[in-house]
Structure 1
Amino acid sequence: MKRLVSLSIILFCLIGHTQNLAQLYKKVSSAVVVINVESVAPDGEGSSFQMALAASQGSGVLVNSEGLIWTAAHVIQSAESITVDFLDGDSYPAEVIASNPMSDVAIIKVSGTFELKEKKIATIGDSDKVEIGEDIFVIGAPHGFKQSLSRGILSGRYIPDKLSNDFEQIEFLQTDAAINPGNSGGPLYNMKGEVIGIASSIYTTSGGFDGIGFVAPSNSVKNLMDSSNGPWTGMETLLLNEELTRILNVPQKSGLLVISISSKGSAGKLGLRGGYIPAVINGNQLLLGGDIIMEVAGIKFEDKNSRSLIKQKLASYKTGDLIPIVILRNGQIGAAQFQKQ
């Protein structure tokens, strides 16, 4: 009899947990959006290529009644145009408000008048309080399959270099919930239905999902909302390692390679140029031929902490100040200035 009672309790708990997740999905799913992005990319091969608009998708989550949406920085970083699609069928153009590529978090906003209707606004949780082993779930549009749910646990916390030179923590949460292309920017929820992170990237040896996904903590996005230090440059970049520096003949220890760029971001307005030559180096797909930023505000790119030092230096400038920048373009070094916004 005791065994039957125990089995009944286990079955009841399993059924209750499944129903709870189904109820949570219904409660929160209308806050999740599909983000459609158009950006400029090379089309064709060899000397016959031309630059054309290319479409891509990501996900995001609605965080207020005015149409503010959280997503991943890499989803929108070089966007020429953005539209967001809601579960109720509404579709809106959107613009970038702020972006922090180092933490891979960004904030976009619906352009024009936004109608909330029956859409739910996401509840934001405290990512510092989530514990390893907790049940979580992710909603997004993997490979274009909209409003797809995957579940798992919080597998760990990952802080690559503990503290950077300006004592800024760059933290990511790790999960075994399935994350695939199109999930990027989508919300990670705890079992209270609170957003505790934004899907960022995966670690893979197969090219598909291998059970190791990384998520930017919700507190990182809250910090971006509370600060004015996340202007949208509108460019996707790569910090060059020693090998790439040699290959590209950069006359210093490192540099920031401009891979792609939006004409609407501050970098595009400055006249910086993105890449146009597709290449694969050490398994990484890149666009070469773009500008290489060698120095900003008198600080050279030398290692992975250079960006933190530059960020710290930029904070000392006042709005309207001109900031010097040194660029390597087609083998020639040139100088320019941009105005702090």
Structure 2
Amino acid sequence: MRRITTMRLSMGLLMLIVASTAAPAAGNAPRDMITPAALYDLAENATVEILVDGRLDGSGWFASADGLVVTAGHVVVGRTDHRIEIISPAAGRKIAKFVAIDRGHDLALLRVEKDDKPFPFLKVADAMPAPGQDVWLFAAANFRHKLMLRGSVARRNSTYEYFSNNRQYTNVYHVSAPSPPGTSGGCWLDQRGRVVGNQSAFMTVNGAGAGIAMLSPPGAIAHLIQSQKTVATTTTQCAFEELWTQPVGYIANYPPGSAGLVPVLIQAEGAAAKAGLSDQMIITAVDDQLVAYVDELLTVLRRKKPGDKVTFTVLKLDGSGQAQITIELEALDATRN
């Protein structure tokens, strides 16, 4: 599988790459687009750095004037009972209380005590910009404070990525951009200064960054801010890989033209293991709906609730033909990995 790295900070070698930034042509600019310098000022005032037990462990931003703060779920999951603080140009250093989490989108909501003055906050956009549009990440990167990094939207629709270190699927958008460790929870802004995503993870190949950032969708961010309630997320407690990504020798075990999903990283005593799923079969349908792509399967699963049952049609490697396996979906633990 591709390695997906969620960004809990660690010190190490850092390669600095200088990139030029050319301003977009004025004739193509939206009327309410603000300059990159003004965008920086807006983000600097409304963003925070997250401390867990006194250590800088991620980034975040004010989502309301009364102290709601958004960060990445993996920054605080498993540590919601620890001392969590924010540092902000507007608020100084304050204790932050855990409010809610959405593990399916790697989002967490915190709250800090209100000041006499309202906190500067960022508004959430209705949708992700079109592919190729510029977006900016504002965050602390590898203990470097107040950095603004430029990227471009790399995909029209959101997709599902399996974060192996958190053992979960997360629904994300892809952006072509650097996203170093420490930027987790940072806000991605469009040219109008609206939040279009929350930094979640980045792709690595053989341990090196591949230049693809992954961010939580704006709709999920807006929902968590509005509801202020933890979102239950279903899981089969395994991952899936598309058949055509497997070695040729493995693919040859199935009839020509076969398509489906191979269960992998099956957790011992998890829902998938208990039901009998293994990597010696491919899933060809879920609830009688044909599936060949991971997104097709995860879209069905995420429409269900923990405790619901789902039926996989599988084709076994041993030549015994098709079978059906029913799994009772579990809930991702909201407090630990």
Shared topology, TM-score over 0.5?
yes
| Preserved CA contact (<8 Å) 1:96 1:232 | no
Letter aligned with residue 91 of structure 1: R
Letter aligned with residue 85 of structure 1: I
Give the drift of 1:206: 4.2
Does residue 194 in structure 1 map to residue 209 in structure 2? no
- Identical residues among aligned pairs (%): 22
What 5-or-longer segments of structure 2 have no aligned partner? Answer: 1-21, 162-168, 240-262, 275-296, 309-328, 331-337
What 5-or-longer segments of structure 1 have no aligned partner? Answer: 1-9, 39-53, 162-168, 256-302, 314-324, 327-341
Choose 81-90 or 237-246, whichever is displaced more. 237-246
CA deviation vs aligned residue, 1:169-205 (integer Å, no higher than 9, x gap): 9742111222111111110000111111100111111
CA deviation vs aligned residue, 1:49-69 (integer Å, no higher than 9, x gap): xxxxx9451111101111101
1: CA distance between counterparts of 2:130 and 2:180?
A: 23
2: CA distance between counterparts of 1:30 and 1:70?
A: 15
2: CA distance between counterparts of 1:11 and 1:179?
A: 21
| Preserved CA contact (<8 Å) 1:73 1:100 | yes
Greater relative contact order (CA < 8 Å, ≥ 6 in sequence): 2
Does residue 73 in structure 1 map to residue 98 in structure 2? no
Aligned to 1:138: 137
CA 120–74 in structure 1, closer or farther in 2 if over 3 Å, else same: same
Aligned to 2:146: 147
CA deviation vs aligned residue, 1:86-127 (integer Å, no higher than 9, x gap): 0246011011111011111121101x343546x521122112
Does residue 101 in structure 1 map to residue 120 in structure 2? no
CA deviation vs aligned residue, 1:118-167 (integer Å, no higher than 9, x gap): x5211221125x11111110000111111111002111133239xxxxxx
Q: Give the alignment of 1:1-341 within 5 angstroms.
A: 13=25, 20-38=35-53, 55=55, 57-79=57-79, 80-88=82-90, 90-110=92-112, 112-116=113-117, 119-128=119-128, 130-156=129-155, 157-160=157-160, 171-227=171-227, 230=230, 239-241=237-239, 244-245=265-266, 248=268, 250=269, 253-254=272-273, 309-311=304-306
2: CA distance between counterparts of 1:11 and 1:143?
A: 27
CA 229–66 in structure 1, closer or farther in 2 if over 3 Å, else same: closer
Task: Give TM-score, length-normalised by structure 1.
Answer: 0.57
Give the drift of 1:240: 3.9
Letter aligned with residue 215 of structure 1: L
Task: Give TM-score, length-normalised by structure 2.
Answer: 0.58
CA deviation vs aligned residue, 1:258-287 (integer Å, no higher than 9, x gap): xxxxxxxxxxxxxxxxxxxxxxxxxxxxxx
CA 245–116 in structure 1, closer or farther in 2 if over 3 Å, else same: same
SS in 2 for 1:184: coil
Runs of 4+ in 1 over 6 A off after TM superposition: 303-307
CA 142–116 in structure 1, closer or farther in 2 if over 3 Å, else same: farther
| Preserved CA contact (<8 Å) 1:152 1:175 | yes
